[in-house]
Amino acid sequence: MISESTRIKMRELAGRYPNSRSALLPMLHLVQAEEDEVTTEGIAACAQELEITQAEVTAVATFYTMYKHSPVGKHHIGVCINTMCGLLGGDAVYQRVAERLGASHNGPSADGNFWLERIECQAACTHAPVMTVDWEFMDDVTPQSAVDVIDKLVAGEEVWSTRGPMIRDFQATEHTLGMAEDDLATVGNCVDEKMLAGLKIAKSGAQNS
Amino acid sequence: MTITNHPDTSTPKTVESVNVTIDGVEMEVPKGTLVIRAAEQIGIEIPRFCDHPLLAPVAACRACLIEIDGVPKPQPACAQVLSEGMNVRTQRSSEVARIAQEGVMEFLLVNHPLDCPVCDKGGECPLQNQAMSVGRPESRFEGEKRTFPKPINVNAEVLLDRERCVSCARCTRFAEEIAGDPSLELLERGAQQQVGTANDEPFDSYFSGNVVQICPVGALTSASYRFRSRPFDLISVPTTCEHCASGCSLRTDNRRGTVTRRLAWEDPEVNEDWNCDKGRFAFAYLNSGRIESPLIRENGELRTASWPEAMHVAAAGLTAASESAVLIGGRATVEDAYAYAKFARVVLASDNIDFRARATSDEEVGFLAAHVAGKKLDVSYADIESASQVALVAFEPEDESPILLLRLRKAAKKGVAIHSVGSVYSLGSEKISASWVKAQAGSEATAIAGLDLDSNSIILVGERAANSQGALTAVSEIAAKTGAKIAWVPRRAGERGALDAGALAGLLPGGRPIADPTARDHIAQAWNVEATSLPTVGRSGNELIEAIASGAVQAVITAGVDPADMPNGDALVTGIENADFVVALENHHSAITERASVVFPVAVVTEKSGSFMNWEGRAQPFSAAFREALTLSDAGVLSMLASAMDKELTGDTRALRKELNSIGVWGGERAGMHQVSAPVSEGTTLATWRLLIDSGVMQEGEPHLAATARPSVAGVGADLFEQLGQPEAITVTGPKGSITLPAAVMNIVTDTVWLPMNSSESHIYAQLGCGYGDAVSVKGGAA
Amino acid sequence: MKLTPVITEHWDDPELYTLDGYKRHGGYIALEKALKEDPDTIIATVKDSGLRGRGGAGFPTGLKWSFVPQNDGKPHYLVVNADESEPGACKDIPIMMANPHSLLEGVIISSFAIRAHHAFIYIRGEVPQAIRKVAYAVKQAREAGLIGKNIQGSGFDLEVTVHAGAGAYICGEETALLDSLEGYRGQPRLKPPFPAVAGLYASPTVINNVETIANIPYIVDRGVEWFRQFGTEKSPGFKVFSVSGHVQRPGIYEAPLGITMRELLDYAGGMRPGAELKFWIPGGSSVPMLTAEHLDLPLTYEAMAEAGTMLGTGTPMVFDQTVSVVKAVTRWLEFYKHESCGKCTPCREGTYWITGVLEKFEHGHGTESEMETLTTLCGQIAGRSFCALGDAAATPYPAAMKYFSDEFTAATHTSADEQFDPIASYVFSGANVQ
């Protein structure tokens, strides 16, 4: 069921673009924010708001991998297994996390609270191996630190992204993506030592000539 | 595979051209020509899958890679525009192109199953053929092919075997670009990419069968043809569609005396490469439920009779009558209609003849005489694309002439302004980006008068205009005022031809007024009779039906008439019941054969040759699909009947056609229109027309097609819907009774309710006893 | 060669992402200057600077801008390609997280130059942290009158829309990005028409990478001469290099173009203890790999091309002797297969086929003849696919065969994991491994 408040947001999104159809990707994120997946009702709502066919929406909803077609649960866990992360230890991280969750690639955990995905390059190769929780960065993970994160999430403890805010849940992130903003820009660390690696050397004067 | 062999006639002579070389052949082509098209002209076939001459190039399949001197990478011939001096080398003269094509072909077969022996496409498959011509002898692929569960329905009539799909996207592009029904889409991505629909919305299109035909592999098949035949066992005959006045060229495939399928046949001037689903799938009626021998009524019961006996009885009955009439439905071929027209005047000595087995008006007779009869190709499909504006009057092209809708879409994309004058702004109107000139059903005249047309405008008038008093007068007046051209688009395939053949009281062949002495002389000479022997103006339309009902007309010949199609059908049935003598020429039983004195079985379109004249006035000839058929055409029966009545009338189609052509069209003065003024409408009026896929008798026997019909609903505008209290169902009541259907909010003018004319649970004449533009009462809920 | 932090210069200021923080370091002075100029002058400046696109192709930015027809009566659009997804590339996301205003100021100036009144920043959906930072910058800029109507009294209007993608590498291809931004499947478009003539909503559109646009304020503020003191004639300026892999200090190093990989490696502290370099890739998995013998080549567009590779995104990945090339290549092909959009046959079917064969090699079940097959299959994709994704997919295997064919030969009987203990290449060790 797509609520009226989501529909109002969908219309706001449609108004941001010279051509309303541009709002389709964000609108599908909003569907996931509300439904925890892209449901048939959500597809119908997007089609209705944009005056396009459900097939046109389905075509888009099945093309992009961030849209899921069964409930994700509370948290989406991504482990990068592309060459850099995978070979630097992401493979081991993925294996441990999969065992911990009782999940396999692109599927739910045994209890339905988590969704596990082998993700492709997350543009954080300097921080390999990389994991994401609800798409927030968990940099430089080890199998143990990854499982610790899962354990904390299971226990309902606070978990902070290594370069980002406190973890909320999958649907909250999807809302951020849908509206392309939230009020979390000012919290959490976002620049770390690795991003400052060159700058530090330059400023220290320890430069080659 | 579609190859256009004909030069593009629409290209003006002054077009700039470029000199190019393809495989060493120097040629001059118009600027903008694609490599693949130019190569076809010199007989070089470059392999292709995604390419289709009527779809925008996408260069997706890469099967057509060719080499161009000076260009480092091979380029797709389907998207490569030729420029001056370009030297193109195809697989015939370039090793690079040959290897590139071979590579793509090998890739295409990676995930394509080798199930040709059980695939409908086997034997006529572009993938199979091109794999043989440009592919490797053997694939090196040893992995596992992608599989999907076996076929899924994209709609009730079209099935999809996803594993066979090569992602050429012809079908999805057709749906979006041509049909305007983007409910068939590519889903997923990469190797998992597949064609499909939304979870709970089928591929809803009147044109869905075309995707089966243009699929270059066996991914899309039709439920009606699946596993029915192998292409090489079929006999193919070019035919013309008998369902509507669009005049589509078709190909009828048959096997052992049975039609197995029908396809669109390329006809650039008419249907291009397309046809509608009715034309494609509605042919089961040809084979079943036929009347097999002559019947005569004896002691109130029909019994089988020999041809000579039936002829004798019929001739005697007709001869005895002092006044006779001929009623032919709108489905006769030009040649058969001409035979009826001549039979009435020469054999029956009567001008009582009408081809309009539907709602009619005298205003319409005047309009047809003044603006339509004998005017051939005054407005053509091509003209629509180059018009400044096109106004649609009482005409719903998507339902009533679907191929015309496609041409209107093309025109709209080119910037032609289209106006829909009427009470309903339909999905079809949206597809042609029409502006809506609102008018109450039955009161279109005022809105027509207000159109701002010019001399490059076209007015397309539907047959329902006959129900809108003053509308045809208004059309005539605005055309005179602005110079806009008029084209009349009847619904049935035979109406336009029957009009020109002289099958309407007052009009002899070629649009000749029967009251005009010169016209009478022409015809008398052609028919080898005395002009004085030709009858004077007879009865038509409602007057004729009333004369039959009242007994003033004592003998009637009917052909292809179903009283259920007529607002005064009850009166006709009573008249038939009471008439002294009725001869019916039919292929299926009807309310009339049940009451006729003599019934003659006649051929259906597959059993005879002939032609249908489409709305343009273009004669579209066809030959018999089954040459060995023993059934007689209507003209053949009439010929025998004439000789039984000591008159002479040829029954030979070719001779009839020749005779009609030699008579030619009327060049003399046309009768002016009898002016009719517009009525003032009050209360709620009924808007209605026949949906393309409905309860029509010629659609019987094809359940898959029937399942694609649009739902029967009662449509009202948002305001009336609110007034009625947002009901789930709406009941519409006319003089005879009521119809209750699920309510639907549509774009409809205030005080109008829309019902399908002849769909499930909605048979307007039978249930309501009134028709288009008539006053009805409306309420929410059931009756 | 010295590191030259420009875009990254103030990243150590935790407030840099705010408008005040950015302004403290001279932010938006370039915009003030630009708005007083004629737009054509800015296009000329960017042209003269020789700035080349930082997204991978290295097309001259000013030239791209100059293709936009002026006075055509159509709306113009600027679209920022922030879909950074190339394996190995991680410099745009850090720029957006640390210094979003440098991007935004560049967006405003660039839009002004090409006469666009609506700019879009298309950020891949998987990085909410980058999205919220850029959105926050847009919000603050709007509140400060730097975006909106009549910017700083100049009469120039600009709307900026931040747009999240939804997971598709192909959307980094500029025409696929446009389709995606229009709400369609992100499949590349047939060219011509080129986006400069008919791009977003069929209107003239410039699409530039994040880092490219982030360069603009500095060029406008400090001038062509200043910019050209860095780099070479054909590759002027500086570059945000991300160095990843088996190095001591993976991270961001901003340096002039023309710096060598050996120098960058030194800054990154060299290889991790006990490691020696096996191969490296200058700019994402889509460009051919190099080895130690190429360490002294200048990292410029021209020198990399001469060495048979490309500068690409300028984000070197470094691998040591513990890495199985067979496994690395297989993983990349799995990526390309996963990301192939499906539009064209060679890429769609080719990545499917090649990946299957490579996986056999990874498990030690390849055959000699399949090595030959793989070579020809890559040849059937390269230069035949619809867009560069196919070309990219056809790159790793032939490049790897150039230096490490013996590993593939070995993979006809020995699996990658038997050839190279996977644990040895992990960056963690001991108890952390399990």
Q: Which chains touch B (3 or more CB pairs under 8 A)?
A: A, C
What mean pLDDT is predicted for residues B557-575? 96
Q: Which of A20, A121, A182 to mutate against chain C (most C CBs within 10 Å)? A: A121
Task: Write down which residue in B490, B514, B530 finishes a domain.
Answer: B490
- Give the closest-approach CA distance of B158 to chain A in angstroms: 16
Q: Concatenate the DSSP letters of all residues of C404-430 into one string.
A: HHHHHHHTTTS-HHHHS-GGGG-SS-G
C37 and C77 both lie in a single domain: yes
**pLDDT of B674 strictly over 80:** no
Chain B residues close to C340, C-beta within 8 Å: 189-191
* Residue-level pLDDT at A205: 78
B424 and B534 both lie in a single domain: no
CATH number of the domain residue A132 falls in = 3.40.30.10
| Inter-axis angle of helices A4-15 and A24-35, nearest 10 | 160
Q: For residue C314, tell me if it sits in a domain.
A: yes
How would residue A103 be classed by pLDDT, with cut points 50, 70 and 90?
very high
B463-510 per-position pLDDT tens digit: 999 999 999 999 999 999 999 999 999 999 999 999 999 999 999 999
A137 and A57 both lie in a single domain: no
Please report the ipTM that was assigned to this predicted complex.
0.97
Residue contact B167–C339, C-beta within 8 A: no
| Angle at the Cα of A38 from the Cα atoms of A35 and A44, rounded to 5 degrees | 100
B74 and B191 both lie in a single domain: no
Before C100, cis peptide (omega within 30)? no
B268 and B154 both lie in a single domain: yes
Give the number of other CB atoms < 10 A from CB of residue B711: 12
Q: For residue A157, tell me if it sits in a domain.
A: yes
C214 and C309 both lie in a single domain: no
B510 and B642 both lie in a single domain: yes
Question: How many separate domains does chain A show?
Answer: 2
Q: For residue B130, tell me if it sits in a domain.
A: no
C429 at interface of A, judged by CB pairs closer than 8 A = no
C200 and C114 both lie in a single domain: yes
* 3-state secondary structure (DSSP) of residue B713: coil
- Sign of torsion over alpha carbons B410, B414, B419, B424: positive
**pLDDT of B641 strictly over 80:** yes
| Nearest CB to C386; choose among B60, B72, B100 | B60
Q: For residue A184, tell me if it sits in a domain.
A: no
* Residue-level pLDDT at B7: 45
Q: For residue B672, tell me if it sits in a domain.
A: no
B36 and B90 both lie in a single domain: yes
What tokens were used for C123? Answer: 């950020």
Task: Write down which residue in C228, C253, C279 finishes a domain.
Answer: C228
Question: How many separate domains does chain B show?
Answer: 5
Residue contact C267–A198, C-beta within 8 A: yes
**pLDDT of B3 strictly over 60:** no
Task: Write down which residue in B430, B461, B490 finishes a domain.
Answer: B490
CATH number of the domain residue C366 falls in = 1.20.1440.230
Task: Write down which residue in C296, C320, C344 finishes a domain.
Answer: C320
| Nearest CB to B65; choose among C341, C350, C384 | C384
What mean pLDDT is predicted for residues C150-179? 97
**pLDDT of B337 strictly over 90:** yes
Task: Burial-class residue C359 by CB neighbours within 10 Å (0-12, 13-18, 19+).
Answer: middle
B153-162 per-position pLDDT tens digit: 999 999 999 9
- Quote the percentage of chain B above a pLDDT of 90: 93
* 3-state secondary structure (DSSP) of residue C281: strand
Q: For residue B87, tell me if it sits in a domain.
A: yes
A57 and A79 both lie in a single domain: no
C166 and C197 both lie in a single domain: yes
What mean pLDDT is predicted for residues B24-29? 97
Q: For residue A127, tell me if it sits in a domain.
A: yes
Per the structure, the complete domain to which residue C269 belongs is given by 238-320
Task: Write down which residue in B456, B490, B524 finishes a domain.
Answer: B490
Q: For residue B8, tell me if it sits in a domain.
A: no
B186 and B310 both lie in a single domain: no
Q: Which chains touch C (3 or more CB pairs under 8 A)?
A: A, B
Find, among C47, C16, C4, C54, the residue nearest to C315 by Cα: C54
Find, among C30, C66, C28, the residue nearest to C223 by Cα: C30
Chains B–C, number of C-beta pairs less than 8 Å apart: 93
Q: For residue A43, tell me if it sits in a domain.
A: yes
B632 and B743 both lie in a single domain: no
CATH number of the domain residue B563 falls in = 3.40.50.740
**pLDDT of B751 strictly over 70:** yes
A58 at interface of B, judged by CB pairs closer than 8 A = yes
Q: For residue B69, tell me if it sits in a domain.
A: yes
Rounded CA-CA distance B51/B280 in Å is: 23
What mean pLDDT is predicted for residues B82-109? 97
* 3-state secondary structure (DSSP) of residue B730: strand
Residue contact B201–A53, C-beta within 8 A: yes
Chain A residues close to C243, C-beta within 8 Å: 126
C11-37 per-position pLDDT tens digit: 999 999 999 999 999 999 999 999 999
C419 and C293 both lie in a single domain: no
Q: For residue C139, tell me if it sits in a domain.
A: yes
Mean pLDDT computed over every residue of chain B: 95
CATH number of the domain residue B773 falls in = 2.40.40.20
* Residue-level pLDDT at B670: 87
A53 at interface of B, judged by CB pairs closer than 8 A = yes
Q: For residue C10, tell me if it sits in a domain.
A: no
C191 at interface of B, judged by CB pairs closer than 8 A = no
Residue B728 phi/psi, 5-degree rounding, is: -75, -35
B314 and B409 both lie in a single domain: no
A99 and A158 both lie in a single domain: yes
Q: Specify the length of chain B in residues.
A: 783
Q: Which of B152, B158, B171, B183 to mutate against chain A (most A CBs within 10 Å)? A: B183
Please count the helices (runs of H) and the strands (runs of E) in chain C: 19, 8
Per the structure, the complete domain to which residue B27 belongs is given by 17-108
C131 and C272 both lie in a single domain: no
A81 and A160 both lie in a single domain: yes
B337 and B395 both lie in a single domain: no
B352-367 per-position pLDDT tens digit: 999 999 999 999 999 9
**pLDDT of B580 strictly over 60:** yes
Q: Which residues face B461 on adjacent strands?
A: B393, B488
C304-327 per-position pLDDT tens digit: 999 999 999 999 999 999 999 999
Rounded CA-CA distance B329/B491 in Å is: 12
How would residue C431 be classed by pLDDT, with cut points 50, 70 and 90?
low
C301 and C354 both lie in a single domain: no
Q: For residue A99, tell me if it sits in a domain.
A: yes
C61-102 per-position pLDDT tens digit: 999 999 999 888 999 999 999 999 999 999 999 999 999 999
Q: Which of B81, B106, B186 to mutate against chain C (most C CBs within 10 Å)? A: B106
C128 and C250 both lie in a single domain: no
What mean pLDDT is predicted for residues C361-386? 98
Question: How many separate domains does chain C show?
Answer: 3
A125 and A156 both lie in a single domain: yes
Per the structure, the complete domain to which residue A149 belongs is given by 75-169
| Angle at the Cα of A176 from the Cα atoms of A174 and A180, rounded to 5 degrees | 120
B233-268 per-position pLDDT tens digit: 999 999 999 999 999 999 999 999 899 999 999 999
Rounded CA-CA distance B78/B64 in Å is: 7
CATH number of the domain residue B64 falls in = 3.10.20.740
| Residue C374 near residue B98 (C-beta atoms within 8 A) | no
CATH number of the domain residue A54 falls in = 1.10.10
Residue contact C384–B58, C-beta within 8 A: no
A87 and A150 both lie in a single domain: yes
**pLDDT of B5 strictly over 70:** no
C186 and C52 both lie in a single domain: yes
* Residue-level pLDDT at A208: 56
Q: For residue A194, tell me if it sits in a domain.
A: no
List the alpha helices (DSSP H) in chain A: 4-15, 24-35, 40-50, 54-61, 83-85, 91-101, 143-155, 170-179, 197-204
* Residue-level pLDDT at A1: 87
Nearest CA in chain A to B191: A63
Give the number of other CB atoms < 10 A from CB of residue B115: 12
B101-126 per-position pLDDT tens digit: 999 999 999 999 999 999 999 999 99
* Residue-level pLDDT at B681: 67
B299 and B338 both lie in a single domain: yes
* Residue-level pLDDT at C434: 60
Residue contact B186–C380, C-beta within 8 A: no
C277 and C375 both lie in a single domain: no
Q: For residue B97, tell me if it sits in a domain.
A: yes
Q: For residue B10, tell me if it sits in a domain.
A: no
Chain B residues close to C341, C-beta within 8 Å: 189-190, 193
B328 and B395 both lie in a single domain: no
- Give the closest-approach CA distance of C324 to chain A in angstroms: 9
How would residue B711 be classed by pLDDT, with cut points 50, 70 and 90?
very high
B261-308 per-position pLDDT tens digit: 999 999 999 999 999 999 999 999 998 899 999 999 999 999 999 999
A98 and A43 both lie in a single domain: no
B221-230 per-position pLDDT tens digit: 999 999 999 9
What tokens were used for A52? Answer: 């396009």
Rounded CA-CA distance C62/C57 in Å is: 14
**pLDDT of B11 strictly over 60:** no
**pLDDT of B1 strictly over 50:** no
C137-147 per-position pLDDT tens digit: 999 999 999 99
B659 and B713 both lie in a single domain: no
Q: For residue B269, tell me if it sits in a domain.
A: yes
**pLDDT of B4 strictly over 50:** no
